[in-house]
């Protein structure tokens, strides 16, 4: 946080914003910190997208029947909030033992997460998959019931868009990129608060989707359509040109 504050007040960065004809930011949190005098130049523009190939992945590729599968993926670092995911899953799984959580990714938090899983008596319900190829991530995501992604600081949130592309409802925190990508029509966003309250809200969201298969399908299909219309690279290219074209006709900046 200190580093970001210093960067935002760096004279070269400030001068760049002043001279820019357009300022593109990837989430509303970034938009809010742009000085009001430059707000007319700001455009929301995601840093992540999906391909036609991503959208062709079958949402029910390898669905395992009889079990509610929760998937989460990312670098195992503290700000990604995987400890919140494990704690929320514990609360949820105590009521619904026919469920399983898989976490893909590697990083310095792995040993702490393994200890948390052990202390929570979840060794037989939570799988730490380690780093896996993106193709396997997409396949596992497509065969899951929901993506749980409680990242505490995530400007882009690529994994959220990937989950949307394979028609999966997303549970995330209403901050950063995920808070921009997910709407009430395609997932459940939790306003972060005190840790225990946030854990309970995440667990409640899991239960809501567990109990309502029709809602899961409805949110998933809406997520897929949103990914197609808003985050396909072709659509993003068109949006970029919509920003650039008026600017290149302006008088050059001194």
Distances (CA, A) of 87 to 94, 129, 246: 11, 18, 49
What is the tens place of the pLDDT at every residue in 71-101? 999 999 999 999 999 999 999 999 999 999 9
What is the tens place of the pLDDT at every residue in 115-124? 999 999 999 9
**Average pLDDT along the chain:** 92
What is the tens place of the pLDDT at every residue in 58-68? 776 445 558 99
pLDDT at residue number 61:
47
Q: What percent of the chain has pLDDT over 90?
A: 80
Distance CA 234, CA 225 (A): 14
pLDDT at residue number 253:
53
Q: What's the gap between Cα 55 and its chain centre? A: 17
Q: CB of 138 within 8 A of CB of 106?
A: no
Distance CA 125, CA 141 (A): 17
Distance CA 222, CA 169 (A): 9
pLDDT at residue number 30:
87
Q: Which of 105-109, 112-116, 155-159, 190-194 has the lowest mean pLDDT?
A: 155-159
Check pLDDT > 60 for residue 234: yes
Distance CA 90, CA 202 (A): 11
């Amino acid at each position: 946080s200190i580093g970001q504050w210093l960067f935002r007040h760096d004279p070269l960065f400030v001068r760049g914003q002043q001279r820019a004809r357009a300022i593109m930011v990837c989430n509303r949190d970034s938009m809010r910190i742009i000085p009001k005098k430059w707000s007319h130049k700001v455009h929301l523009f995601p840093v992540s997208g999906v391909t036609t190939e991503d959208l062709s992945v079958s949402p029910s590729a390898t669905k395992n029947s009889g079990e509610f599968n929760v998937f989460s993926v990312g670098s195992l670092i503290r700000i990604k909030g995987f400890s919140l995911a494990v704690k929320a899953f514990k609360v949820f799984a105590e009521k619904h033992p026919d469920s399983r959580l898989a976490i893909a990714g590697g990083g310095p938090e792995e040993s702490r997460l393994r200890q948390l899983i052990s202390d929570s008596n979840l060794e037989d319900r939570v799988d730490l998959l380690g780093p896996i190829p993106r193709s396997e991530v997409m396949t596992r995501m497509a065969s899951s019931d929901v993506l749980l992604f409680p990242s505490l600081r995530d400007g882009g949130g690529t994994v959220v868009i990937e989950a949307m592309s394979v028609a999966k409802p997303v549970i995330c925190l209403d901050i950063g990129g995920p808070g921009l990508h997910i709407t009430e029509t395609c997932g459940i966003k939790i306003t972060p608060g005190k840790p225990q309250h946030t854990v309970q809200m995440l667990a409640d969201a899991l239960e809501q989707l567990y109990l309502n298969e029709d809602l899961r399908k409805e949110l998933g299909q809406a997520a897929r359509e949103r990914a197609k219309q808003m985050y396909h690279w072709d659509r993003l290219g068109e949006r970029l040109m919509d920003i650039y074209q008026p600017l290149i006709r302006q008088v050059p900046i001194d």
